[in-house]
Amino acid sequence: MIRTRLRTKFIVGFSGLFLLFCLLLLLLVTAQLQRTMKHELRKRGISIARHLAEAAVTPILTENRVALQQILTDYTKNETDIRYIYLVNDRREVLGHSFSSAFPGDLLKIDAPLPRNQTVVVTTVDAGEELIKDVAVTVQGDLARVHVGLSLQVINDSLRQLVWQLLPFAAALLALGALAAFAVASSITRPLAELADAANRLGQGRRDVQVTLKSRDEIGELASAFNRMTQELSQQQHQLEALNQSLEQRIEVALQELRLRDQALIAQNRLAAMGEMINNIAHQWRQPLNNISLIVQNMKYLNGSGQLTQQELAQDVDSTMELIQFMSRTIDDFRNFFRQDKQKQLFSINQTVAKTVALLAPSLTSHNITVQAQQQEEVQAEGYANEYTQVLLNVIANAKEALITREVPDAAIELVITAEAGRSVVTISDNAGGIPDDVLPKIFDPYFTTKHQAHGTGIGLYMSKVIIEQNMGGSLTARNTATGAAFRLEL
């Protein structure tokens, strides 16, 4: 399609230019011929007028009007382009004329005595239907003036006839020019079409495309440049494929290292959480163990004094068993916390928050930290309940650490459970004074901590963000409030 369009443009353009050249040449030749023929007509008119002036001297002097008229008749009979001949004296009397009827008086308007330094005057007369060259010559001694009128129509007819004769020749030249244009266009567009076809195949992904052109002109140089370009593209493609393969291998190695690091971070975070849980177990068991100790001591005392009855023994045994069952349930709760979920499940946000608060309540109470959970409705989410619990534990542990470190009076942690646009939202806020502005953007970075190296690893909040956002498709953000920091968990 490109070849046809380009060839057509070339042929039409070349033919148009050639036609324009032929027309201009024809106009120039016609104009030059017209000037030459007018010049020859003028010379001929002067020659006829002078010859008549010489021949008319004797008839004028002898006043032989018949001889004079015969001379004029002979001239007009033999010359077809002579429109009129007439002689007029200084008194503007017509001595003779070649008209078959009466002499037209309008011709006297162009008659005038010739200047002294001129023997011939040539003027152009508009006769209405044609133009006439009027040649005026003085008869010897100013006896009279001879006017010869030659028609310019003969010149126009001759030129018109010449143009019609040249038209077939011009048409033949135009046809030859079109054939030459077609041949030249074909010689140019054929290699261009091959280049275009090769470029299309190159664009379709073929890298082994080569163009075979033997011409040594600019198109041949273009083909050589195209071949060099395809060779370089092929080499670069092979290099790129090799680089991609190498990159894939390196990326796979890097991803494997990242997975191993994440697994190590998760394990490290779980170990830290396990330490926190052991501390919470100690707080959970302290009161039951103390009560069991008091019951055992009381039973020993009553038995030693003989006051231990069967009813009191049964009551003490029941109380001891209740305390032991409470401690067993506590172990089960902490064991479930460290059990890893395998599949996402729909779980209750309210129950998960309540269970987490129950686990942490003794530890928080021991540091005079009050914890409150506000909820308006039952909220559920799909994900991993134990991992969600781990995130709650990490965030509450950070709030607890800030409250203890800053020795905040009336320390408090508040959890608010809501649902927004079909998503669960849990906001955990404290009154520890907030996070410094230069630290806030970095709190979710791995290994970032403001604590001493012996008291913190900096992975708790990082792993919390990974769990919520990457593992469960939610979001975890933090901001400062008027009294402290607020963490927002969306799932």
Cα–Cα distance between 310 and 174 in angstroms, integer? 138
- Element containing residue 187 per DSSP (H, E): helix 153-203
Reported as a single tens digit per residue, the pLDDT across 224-237 is 776 777 777 777 77
pLDDT of residue 274: 61
pLDDT of residue 2: 45
Sign of CA dihedral 448, 449, 450, 454: negative
Q: Name the nearest CA neighbour of 397 among 442, 359, 426.
A: 359
| Three-state DSSP class for residue 489 | strand
Whether 159 contacts 33, CB under 8 Å? yes
Per-residue burial over 100-137, b if 16 or more Cβ lie within 10 Å, else e, is: eeeeeeebeeeeeeeeeeeeebbeebebeeeebbbbbb
Residue 448 has pLDDT above 70, yes or no: no
CA 16 and chain centroid, separation: 38
- Which range, of 112-116, 119-123, 466-470, averages the lowest pLDDT? 112-116
Whether 288 contacts 371, CB under 8 Å? no
Model confidence pTM above 0.85: no
The mean pLDDT value for 13-36 works out to: 79
**Residue of 472 and 184 predicted with greater confidence:** 472
Residue 429 has pLDDT above 90, yes or no: yes
For the chain, the average pLDDT equals 78
Q: Name the nearest CA neighbour of 212 among 200, 202, 198.
A: 198
Residue 487 has pLDDT above 90, yes or no: yes
Cα radius of gyration rounded to whole Å, the chain: 62
- Which range, of 57-66, 88-97, 153-162, averages the lowest pLDDT? 153-162
Residue 244 has pLDDT above 70, yes or no: yes
- Element containing residue 307 per DSSP (H, E): none
Residue 23 has pLDDT above 90, yes or no: no
- Which range, of 123-137, 144-158, 311-325, 419-433, averages the lowest pLDDT? 311-325
pLDDT of residue 480: 92
**Residue of 174 and 395 predicted with greater confidence:** 395
pLDDT of residue 268: 64
Tokens standing for 400?
Answer: 């607890």
The mean pLDDT value for 186-199 works out to: 69
pLDDT band at 96 (very low <50, low <70, confident <90, very high): confident
| Three-state DSSP class for residue 370 | strand
If phi > 0 it is left, if psi is from -120 to 50 it is alpha, else beta; for residue 485 that is: beta
Sign of CA dihedral 265, 268, 272, 277: positive
Reported as a single tens digit per residue, the pLDDT across 272-292 is 656 656 666 665 566 677 777
Reported as a single tens digit per residue, the pLDDT across 164-190 is 877 787 777 777 777 777 777 666 666
